[in-house]
Amino acid sequence: MTSVMDIGFLGLGNMGAPMAERLLGQACRLHVYDPSAQALAPFVDGGAIAHASPRAVADAASIVFACLPNRDVSLAVGLGPDGVVHGSAVRLYVEMSTIGQDMIERIGEGLAQRGIDIVDAPVSGGPSAARAGTLAMLVSGMPSAVEQVSPLLERIGKEVFPMGDRPGMAQIMKIVNNVVMAANLVVCAEGLAMGAKAGLDADMMMRLIDSGSGQSFACSKIMSRAVSGKFDFGAALAVIEKDMALGLAEARLMHVAMPAIERARDVWHAAYEAGRGGEDFTSILRYVEERNGTRVRGRAVQA
């Protein structure tokens, strides 16, 4: 008879919900927590057990995953009065949020005092990849802990990328990926705005960039949706602005100069201050258009 593993998942938002769904069944008894009853409902309908706090999940599950919106929430969920640290069953905590090297180390140190191991496991790919099960899983931590959780990560995503044996290393890799993408997106938006103002056809610009030396995932797969009129990639502009600020903070701690990234972050921050924080992050194109008095849309949108 196959034994059933008790697994916990904290945070059922745009990223957490589709990841947690991939753990339903699969010889797992899934224990979930989210402050939103609406987020919990479909999991309860699917057979998961809802709990009233992170601590309650950690009292029931030996391995607990977390995908949370920011550093403060991650700290409270990990080490707060109702946090995972007080759980009686948990032995391994998998932090999938992007919270920076210092925060993952702080949470890890607090958990270690209670004999709980931590695996640093941020993900890359966005909500669409989470739904499709094609996320890239960045992982760092004690080899024995990483080995224990890897089969579960392989259910959630497409590939697990080991980044090292110290929690925090995966955070740095995720931040590097994020700032490169975000800077790339700003550069793409600004270049397209210049071309549009000169009278170039948006569809032809995208075709050329995709075929030429300016090609990038940010332009070809993300910005292309905005040019086609679909501002729906799945993450809020405020999240990208936060990631850029986090990247620059990490760079300062390591005495790494990033002037180009800093200038790109200025654009994201200006868009946020202009009231676009709650919009999809592809709305960076709309902000750049407004600043330059132009519009970048494909022929199908213009028709």
- Give the dihedral of Cα atoms 85, 89, 94, 96; nearest 10 deg: -70
d(CA 9, CA 24): 11
Q: Is 230 a catalytic residue?
A: no
128, 158 contact by CB (below 8 A): no
Catalytic pick among 158, 174, 197, 242: 174
End-to-end CA distance of the chain: 61
Beta strands in the chain (DSSP E): 5-10, 28-33, 49-50, 63-66, 92-95, 117-120, 123-124, 136-140, 159-164
Q: Are strands 63-66 and 5-10 parallel, antiparallel or unpaired?
A: parallel
Q: Residue 219 in contact with residue 211, Cβ under 8 Å?
A: no
Show which residues are catalytic: 174
